[in-house]
Amino acid sequence: MSVPQGRRAVLAGMLALAGAGLTAGAAPLPEDLWPDGAVLRGEHYVVVGHRVPADLLDDLAVRAERARRRVAAIWGPVRPVILFPETDAEAEALAGAGATGGLAAMATADRVIILPGGYARLSEIGRDVVITHELTHVATGATRGGRVPMWLSEGFADYVGYAASGLAVRTVAAELAAEVRAGVLPARLPGPADFAPGAVRLAQAYEEAWLACRYIAGRYGERTLVRLYGSDVGTVLGLTAADFTAGWRDYLRKELG
Ligand SMILES: [Zn+2]
């Protein structure tokens, strides 16, 4: 079996930006969403499908439980509610999001919504990564209304998402590795504009964020990375932003150069 190279290959249509979702609202109970829906209720998860083939919904339930355990191991308990609508349009309406072409899943404040079109194009590993990534957003509250920088929100979701994937760093971060090998290092951590849909270096922005979190976990410990969420590098790591950025750039050079 060939190993998919790079974030684009692993995740095909890319990840949903949490920005579209994460709106808290009076969402109906999963069971009440669709009169003709199918509900799979595990001890720790609820998966609801709307006219989704039974084998595909069963497969999603297995992945929901796997993702739950991965998030719990690093962050803490979370109870996945995952909705698998019949169409992308139905998913967008559920999330209150606009056009989501190419995305595979979205997170709202309390649930993960599958986008059937993008999800169908994902690799097996990519499906687990995406569901774990989005479930991490649900567990952490993503950017918490902008109080958590996007590199940390997206990087941490990928850190949890890829933690058990078994993929090599250069495989996941193939796009960024090509730049680093060519002698180009990013000058700063990615910001909101770098994560905008259609951004030219969108894959690299995710890879930069992921590797910033991987750097912190590797050098300072995974618990420190978790503590950083909702705090800042000065308080938790005792570093200036400039020193942290310099350490991260060295790490990129070592891991990808
Ligand atoms: Zn995300």
Model pLDDT, residue 2:
39
Q: What is the pLDDT of residues 80-116, one digit of tens each?
A: 999 999 999 999 888 887 777 678 899 888 899 999 9
CA dist., res. 34 & res. 37, Å (int): 5
| DSSP secondary structure, 191-247, as one string | -GGGGSTT-TTHHHHHHHHHHHHHHHHHHH-HHHHHHHTTS-HHHHH---HHHHHHH
Model pLDDT, residue 10:
57
Assess contact for 155 and 210: CB atoms under 8 A: yes
Measure 30 CA to ligand 1 centroid, in angstroms: 22
Provide the H-helix boundaries in 164-201. 169-172, 174-181
CA dist., res. 73 & res. 251, Å (int): 25
Measure 90 CA to ligand 1 centroid, in angstroms: 20
Task: Report if residue 145 sits inside a domain.
Answer: no
Measure 136 CA to ligand 1 centroid, in angstroms: 8
Measure 109 CA to ligand 1 centroid, in angstroms: 13
Measure 231 CA to ligand 1 centroid, in angstroms: 19
Measure 105 CA to ligand 1 centroid, in angstroms: 9
Q: Are strands 37-41 and 112-114 parallel, antiparallel or unpaired?
A: unpaired
Range of the domain at 184: 150-256
Q: Do 10 and 136 reside in the same domain of the chain?
A: yes
Model pLDDT, residue 9:
54
Model pLDDT, residue 198:
81
Measure 14 CA to ligand 1 centroid, in angstroms: 10
Model pLDDT, residue 17:
43
Task: Report if residue 40 sits inside a domain.
Answer: yes
Measure 180 CA to ligand 1 centroid, in angstroms: 24
CATH of the domain at 77: 3.40.30
pLDDT less than 50: residues of the chain: 1-4, 12-24
